[in-house]
Structure 1
Amino acid sequence: MRNLYCALLLGLLVVICLQSFAAGNNGKSPEECCFNFFKKPVPVRSIVSYEETRDDCPKAGVIFITKKAARICVDPGFKWVKRAIDQIDIRNVESSTGE
């Protein structure tokens, strides 16, 4: 009977260790990365803001947040993405200065 308790305790410890290792590995993972990119241009008037993905993501990306709260991953290398980011930045500066 004692061997059974020892085996159960050892098994429980192994499960706890494996779970803590998995949680520790996920602790440094990016909150959100882009793995697939939306290729068609998104109208700037429908974009509220944008976020750049973190440096530790496998691919650099930009996430556009729309008025409908949709999050759209786009490739920052596309010309239309760069123009949209510039327009959003200008719009944000103008709204913060009250113009």
Structure 2
Amino acid sequence: MRILMSLLLLVLFCSIQLTSSAPNALEAQSSCCFQFYKKKIPLNLVVSFYQTRSNCPISAIVFRTAAGREFCVDPNSSWVNSHIAKMNSRTTTATTAKTLSTTV
């Protein structure tokens, strides 16, 4: 009976450990930046972007390239804001075109 109780306790402990570490896995994409990349990244290389978490030491935009590289850039730079606006218009245009093609 003790062996069964010990085994049950071990399984319970392992399941609690797995569920408590799950939220950290979701935040892996949104890591903090500690310095900005200084050069302008060509827009045709950028496939996505995200903003760093609010608890990071500096606020930054992270551009992800088709090759999977990520660059931390200054959100106050004019070229960064231009890239973001163009990326947002890409997704809006693609969504509108997809909606129009399915409704026609």
TM-score range, shorter chain: 0.5 to 0.7
**Structure-1 residue corresponding to 2:51:** 52
How many residues in Structure 1 have an aligned counterpart in Structure 2? Answer: 71
Within the alignment, does 1:35 sit opposite 2:34 as a pair? yes
**Structure-2 residue corresponding to 1:7:** none
TM-score by length of 1: 0.67
Per-residue displacement from partner, 1:56-88 (whole Å, max 9, x unpaired)? Answer: 111000000101111111010111101010110
**Structure-2 residue corresponding to 1:65:** 64
Structure 1 residue 96 displacement after superposition: 1.2
**Secondary structure of the equivalent of 1:34?**
coil
Whole-Å Cα distance in 2 between the matches of residues 96 and 83 of structure 1? 20
Structure 1 residue 98 displacement after superposition: 1.5
TM-score by length of 2: 0.64
Gaps of 5+ in 2: 1-23, 99-104
Give the superposed CA RMSD: 1.5
Whole-Å Cα distance in 1 between the matches of residues 78 and 48 of structure 2? 18
Higher relative contact order (CA 8 A, sep 6+): 1
Gaps of 5+ in 1: 1-26
